[in-house]
Structure 1
């Protein structure tokens, strides 16, 4: 295991039982009381609504951010840099605080667009039927597509680590360092999208944050990599020691 990142980096060396592998870090939002990207690669996030600093899973003050579920989110202005197949791995920690809400989801991170031609982007959310859902898509609507299986979610009020890995062949989803589903990646066409990355919400059809998406949650340590992480690398992040 390795320590939580405390300084800007672009390339990380992650331990595995067999070797060290370099992986490119596209963005890292540590959410230590602010919305800065510590990788230095993309614009810092902009806070909207009531997003406030709270203790993280290690009881570090100002170590995570609280989203109150009421038009509160972080917006990261970005065009094609963080789109799928450039962003092969998306991981974060979250403590989702509320169970089932009528017509509302807890969207933890999203850069996803759906229009008359394409569905493209990635999302991690807990939906209003208590399902954990993660996907990476980029399909022409004339093609077939698929989602990784949903996972029943009832672990409200506790910290969990979620990770989505798309290696161009398979989409693998992880919870707390362990894979729970693998699907063949069905999408050959990936359209670029200029929509921002949102933490704590997702976009509606008009390009604005959806009123049905605002998370009530603590969110921490959002990492986006250009490379598909191995299962051991995901586990190393999920089980990293408290600083």
Structure 2
């Protein structure tokens, strides 16, 4: 990916996003709007005021999902599964870093099971893994998590449909109404092109923007592989966001 800082603001290409109504992705049938969207000309103060974050608000292990859910003493077991590091930068369309913004993530465990009361998948819960984390970007827009690689899981969209291994990511923008939500997939996963949700994206570059790349240089020997996932908030090279339609 290359950036040209001299380029002017690039308007978002709405044709790049999938239609709200995609019958092969059955959940969209109930969720898609039936009437035209309404433009709010006079936003409220709540929508304009930006959230403020302080490092004092974050716990010491909030970005370490290997440690942030373990109950009891440090002698208790660690989560089961492949240990990985997820890292990257949050930047704008001109590669300018977005510092001190809140990045949140949530995911299934190594068996593909979410810690959610409505998740009825047969895979067991991991007593040492909660599946959620958060962190702040640094001055240069960098963020980092340590976690377990999530497993794929079946979902009732079709007779034998499976979601690829993925992690949901939320980036808080400059105001409460500008939160962006996306998800990352892992390089080389054969389930990615078979996923009905991914198939709603007509542009291969949109799918590529959701793919985390293996980075052996940032991996920790005898500990964890590293995957880089950069997030571009807007412009020609923006990451595909579920929260924009």
TM-score range, shorter chain: under 0.3
Q: Which has the larger radius of gyration?
A: 2
TM-score of the superposed pair, with normalisation by structure 2: 0.24
Q: Which has the higher strand share?
A: 1
Higher relative contact order (CA 8 A, sep 6+): 1
Q: Which has the higher helix share?
A: 2
